[in-house]
Chains A and B, each alone.
Chain A
Amino acid sequence: MEAQTFELKFKLNGKEVNALVDTRETLLDVIRDTFGLTGAKKGCDEAACGACSVLFNGHAVCSCTMLAAEAHGGSIVTVEGLSVNGEPASLQKAFMESDALQCGFCTSGQIIAAASLLDNADRELDDNEIREGMSGNVCRCGAYNKILHAVSETSRKRKAK
Chain B
Amino acid sequence: MEAVMERQREKPHVSEPRIDARERAMGLAKYTADWQVKDMLYARIFTSTVPHGFVKGIDSSEAAKTPGFVDIVSCLDDSTVWQAGEREHERRVFADHVRFVGDCIGAVTATTRIAARKAASLVGVQYEELPASFTIESTLGNSQLKIWDNGNFLGPLKFEYGDSEEEFSKSQVVLERHYSTSRLHNVPLEPAISIAWWDGDNLTVVAATQSVHGCRNGIAKDLGLEPEKVRVIGYYKGGGFGNKINSMNYDLIAAICSRRTGKPVMVEYSREDEFINVHGRWSTDQDLRMAADRAGKINAVEVKAKCDIGAYTRHIKRGHFIEGPEHYYSTEAWNAEIYGVYTNTPATGHMRAPPGPQSAFSVESMVDELAHELGIDPVDMRLKNFIRNPPSGRFTSNGFEECIIKGAEEFGWKQRWKRPEKQRNKSGIATGVGVAIGSWHSGLGHGEAIVSVDSSGTLEVNTGVVDIGTGAKTTMALIASGEVGIPYADTRVIWGDTETSPYSVGESGSRTTGFTGTAVREASRQLKADLLLIGEKLHGISSSKLEIKEGNLIRSGNGSVLSSVRELMQASGNGRITKSVTTEPTLKEGEERFVFAAHFAEVAVDLETGEVKLTDYLAYHDSGEIVNRLTAESQVQGGIVMGIGMALTEKLLISKTDGSIENPSLLLYRIPNMTQIPKIKVFFTDTVDPYGPKSLGEIPIIPVTAAIGNAIFNATGVRLRNLPFSREELLGELKDRK
Given contacts A92-B25, A99-B18, are A139 and B666 in contact (CB under 8 A)?
no
Number of interface residues of A (CB under 8 A): 60
B534-572 vs A: 1/0 string, CB under 8 Å?
000000000000000000000000000000000000000
Do B642 and A140 have beta carbons less than 8 Å apart?
Answer: yes
> A76 to chain B: which residues have CB within 8 Å?
none
A73 within 8 A of B: no
Q: Which of B93-101, B631-639, B705-713 contacts A (4 or more CB under 8 A)?
A: B631-639
Q: Which of A104, A108, A139 contacts B236 (CB 8 A)?
A: A104
Known A46-B271, A103-B469; further 15 A-B contacts with Cβ < 8 A: A36-B36, A38-B27, A41-B33, A43-B191, A44-B665, A51-B189, A88-B26, A92-B25, A99-B634, A101-B21, A102-B638, A131-B674, A138-B189, A140-B188, A145-B637
Q: Which of B26, B236, B241, B677 contacts A80 (CB 8 A)?
A: B26
> A130 to chain B: which residues have CB within 8 Å?
674
Q: Which of B36, B190, B635 contacts A41 (CB 8 A)?
A: B190
Residue of A at shortest CB range from B630?
Answer: A99
Do A143 and B666 have beta carbons less than 8 Å apart?
Answer: no
6 contacts between A and B (CB under 8 A): A32-B34, A46-B667, A80-B28, A102-B471, A135-B675, A145-B680
Do B679 and A145 have beta carbons less than 8 Å apart?
Answer: yes
A14 to chain B, nearest CB (A): 15
Do A142 and B638 have beta carbons less than 8 Å apart?
Answer: yes
Do A104 and B29 have beta carbons less than 8 Å apart?
Answer: yes
> A131 to chain B: which residues have CB within 8 Å?
674-675
Do B27 and A78 have beta carbons less than 8 Å apart?
Answer: yes
> B236 to chain A: which residues have CB within 8 Å?
103-104
A147 within 8 A of B: yes
Residue of B at shortest CB range from A51?
Answer: B189
> B673 to chain A: which residues have CB within 8 Å?
134-138, 144
Do A48 and B666 have beta carbons less than 8 Å apart?
Answer: yes
Do B190 and A43 have beta carbons less than 8 Å apart?
Answer: yes
A residues whose Cβ falls under 8 Å from a Cβ of B: 3, 22, 24-25, 29, 32-33, 36-46, 48-49, 51, 78-80, 82-83, 88, 92-93, 95-97, 99, 101-108, 111, 130-132, 134-148
B198 within 8 A of A: no
Do A103 and B238 have beta carbons less than 8 Å apart?
Answer: yes
> A24 to chain B: which residues have CB within 8 Å?
114
> A143 to chain B: which residues have CB within 8 Å?
634, 637-638
B9 within 8 A of A: no
Do B666 and A44 have beta carbons less than 8 Å apart?
Answer: yes
Given contacts A104-B238, A135-B674, A145-B637, are A95 and B189 in contact (CB under 8 A)?
no
B24 within 8 A of A: yes
B671 within 8 A of A: yes
Do B674 and A134 have beta carbons less than 8 Å apart?
Answer: yes
B494 within 8 A of A: no
Q: Which of A88, A103, A138, A140 contacts B22 (CB 8 A)?
A: A88
Do A105 and B672 have beta carbons less than 8 Å apart?
Answer: no
> B633 to chain A: which residues have CB within 8 Å?
99
Do A141 and B239 have beta carbons less than 8 Å apart?
Answer: yes
Residue of B at shortest CB range from A96?
Answer: B21
Q: Which of B33, B187, B270, B677 contacts A140 (CB 8 A)?
A: B187
> B471 to chain A: which residues have CB within 8 Å?
102
> A83 to chain B: which residues have CB within 8 Å?
26
Alpha-carbon distance A93/B675, docked complex (angstroms): 23
Do B25 and A101 have beta carbons less than 8 Å apart?
Answer: yes
> B723 to chain A: which residues have CB within 8 Å?
none
> A135 to chain B: which residues have CB within 8 Å?
673-675
> B640 to chain A: which residues have CB within 8 Å?
142
Residue of A at shortest CB range from B34?
Answer: A38
Alpha-carbon distance A111/B665, docked complex (angstroms): 23
Alpha-carbon distance A145/B634, docked complex (angstroms): 9
B113 to chain A, nearest CB (A): 8
A137 to chain B, nearest CB (A): 8
B379 within 8 A of A: no
B30 within 8 A of A: yes
> B605 to chain A: which residues have CB within 8 Å?
none
